[in-house]
Amino acid sequence: MIPVITIDGPSGSGKGTIARLLARRLGWRILDSGALYRLLGLAAQRRGIPLDDEARLAQLARTMEVAFDDERVLLDGDDVSLEIRTEEAGNRASRVAALPAVRQALLQWQRDYARAPGLVADGRDMGTVVFPDAPLKIFLTASAAERAKRRYNQLKEKGLDANLRDLIKEISERDERDRNRSVAPLRPAPDALELDSTGLSIEQVMDRVLDEVRRIWPDQGV
């Protein structure tokens, strides 16, 4: 069985950063499931498909050409790495991710990504739906204000426009939508380790996660 670690949580909780660092430390593959929904939202926009047209979006999810090339994300051969990281892209992703047929269309794609030597899966339902048998599940969260501040700094570093007040509002609305959707709502798995990263450094969160990795896989040498 391929070892899998899931890291779930709301937008801006730091799960993507922790997932990348952990995958690099272990030498494992990484799955950024949120990028798939952001890519689908962008692909739909480019094709003029409404974000509530579930059947057409599910078909698009099965056929869109996606590639992850180190730090680059490609859609139909175009580098859209920055384009899918905007707040607009995140809001589109949250809308299409609420559609059952879309989630089903992407489910097997995500599961097939688990290959040797192991996988760190980052998302919102990795531990509850996609990899429910994963030996280690992390649910990472932080206050909405803290997450908005982190997101603001990330966008500014990339040279993108951002407004902190708007970010707090958008993050809170996205949390509400993700928690209350009918399929795969945002919630920790019953056996997940819940970590609140508010006020913690990346290093402190990583130390806590690595403690769990050592407990479950003592032969990993981390």
17 is in an annotated binding site: yes
Q: Where are the domains of the chain?
A: 4-216
Question: pLDDT at position 70, please?
Answer: 65
What is the chain's length? 222
123 is in an annotated binding site: no
- 93-132 per-position pLDDT tens digit: 989 988 999 999 999 889 988 999 999 999 999 999 999 9
127 is in an annotated binding site: no
Locate 76 and state its tokens: 């139909």
158 is in an annotated binding site: no
CATH, domain 4-216, list 3.40.50.300, 3.40.50.1970, 2.60.120.10, 3.40.50.1820: 3.40.50.300
Q: Supply the pTM of this predicted model.
A: 0.86
137 is in an annotated binding site: no
Long-range contacts of 214-220 (CB under 8 A, 24+ apart): 216/135, 216/136, 217/3, 217/135, 220/26
77 is in an annotated binding site: no
Smallest CA-to-CA distance from 108 within 84, 136, 131 is with 131
201 is in an annotated binding site: no
Residues of the chain predicted below pLDDT 50: none
Question: pLDDT at position 68, please?
Answer: 77
How far CA 186 is from CA of 91, 94, 112, 162, in Å, comes to: 15, 11, 22, 25
159 is in an annotated binding site: no
9 is in an annotated binding site: yes
Question: pLDDT at position 143, please?
Answer: 93
Q: Which residues of 166-189 are buried (b: 16+ CB within 10 A; e: fewer)?
A: ebbebbeebbebbeebeebebebb
